[in-house]
Structure 1
């Protein structure tokens, strides 16, 4: 009887020591308790999230909202964004306006998503179409624009599994 009591007391002591760790998300019970657990992203979430981020950025360009544009970027790009975005060749420069902006293709690029766009910029009375490729990545659990470059992918043909607009 004394041996059983010692085992029960020992088990209670071990559980009492582990409970604070488990509740803080730092112990072997972390997966069971679920503290700090993030929902697992669905495999096809990437294209949708990438499309949403780039569309929000295009909308910010049209509205000349630097703050809204900055929100779509990954943290490392935000530091230099304000100056570059409003500079002479920046996406939010005052001397031109975005008259049309369309997402033409979204496709996987490893763990990232490439979003091709067609943007028409009007400057000095002249409208100039250009293609811009945005790379959207998952950073700190959030999708964000990680890179922007001139160019883009040719839209996938109809019936292709790659979503396009």
Structure 2
């Protein structure tokens, strides 16, 4: 009788386990089943990338070097410190950022690629320059790990 009780007890535990896990919120499909967990990391990456780049663009507009630096990954700090306020730096004194817009976000080989359009004035001249930022995850946070001229053409509306 001993082995039969253990088997019955094991079956009872296995039968109740799914109900217990559902009560804890594990295994439910309130958000579309298996597709929801796969979608969440991509949505989070896009949102965090947009947040970091927008904060950097806002810092450029305000000429707030410290706020701009704080959006960058640690390995970029030294180069940023050397070039940010120089003649070609994002925070140079001889021009003013009058507009900055995020135009596209997509996954790239090194992280999230955020395309922007930055409008600057230098004297009487107004120039629009595309910049491409790469945003990566660094531990529990996100940071800008690269900046380069150019960017992606925005994807047509309704395209994944």
Q: Shorter chain as normaliser: what TM range?
A: 0.7 to 0.9
C-alpha change, 1:43 and 1:131, in structure 2 (3 Å) is closer
Q: Is the 8 A contact 2:110 2:134 kept in 1?
A: no
The Cα of 1:99 is off from its aligned counterpart by 0.5
**1:16 maps to which residue?**
none
Q: Is structure 2 residue 128 aligned with structure 1 residue 129? A: yes
Matches within 5 A, 1:13-162: 42-110=41-109, 112-161=111-160
Q: Distance in 2 between matches of 1:43 and 1:88?
A: 37
Deviates more, 1:123-132 or 1:41-50: 41-50
C-alpha change, 1:133 and 1:50, in structure 2 (3 Å) is same
SS across alignment from 2:41: coil
The TM-score with structure 2 as length reference comes to 0.73
- Deviation sequence 1:122-164 (CA, Å, 0-9, x none): 0021100010000001112211000000000000001112xxx
Q: Distance in 1 between matches of 2:89 and 2:42?
A: 34
Deviates more, 1:117-126 or 1:106-115: 106-115
- Deviation sequence 1:36-64 (CA, Å, 0-9, x none): xxxxx834210000000000000000000
The Cα of 1:79 is off from its aligned counterpart by 1.6
Computed over aligned residues only, the root mean square deviation of the Cα atoms, in angstroms, reads 1.2
The Cα of 1:111 is off from its aligned counterpart by 5.9
Q: Which runs of 4+ in 1 moved over 4 A?
A: none
Q: How many corresponding residue pairs?
A: 121
**1:28 maps to which residue?**
none
The TM-score with structure 1 as length reference comes to 0.70
Deviates more, 1:146-155 or 1:77-86: 77-86
Deviates more, 1:140-149 or 1:65-74: 140-149
